[in-house]
Amino acid sequence: MNDASGLPAIGTYVDSRPFWEGIARGKLVLQYCRDAERFQHYPRPVSIFTGRRNLEWREVSGLGTIYAVTIMRVPGLGYAGKRPYTVATVELDEGVRMLARIVNVAPEAAVAGLRVRVAWEPLGEGVYPAFEPLPA
Give the tens place of pLDDT for each residue, 33-45: 999 999 999 999 9
pLDDT of residue 83: 72
Same-domain check for residues 17 and 50: yes
Instruction: Please report the pLDDT score of residue 136 as a whole number.
Output: 79
Residues of the chain with pLDDT under 50: 1
Q: Are residues 56 and 78 in the same domain?
A: no
Per the structure, how many domains does the chain have?
A: 2
Distance CA(94)–CA(32), nearest Å, equals 10
- Give yes or no: residues 53 and 82 share one domain: no
Q: Which domain holds residue 19?
A: 6-60
Which candidate, 98, 105, 106, places its Cα nearest to that of 128?
Answer: 98
Asked whether residue 70 is domain-assigned, the answer is: yes
pLDDT of residue 7: 61
> CA-to-CA distance for 1 and 8, rounded, in angstroms?
6
Global pTM reads: 0.83
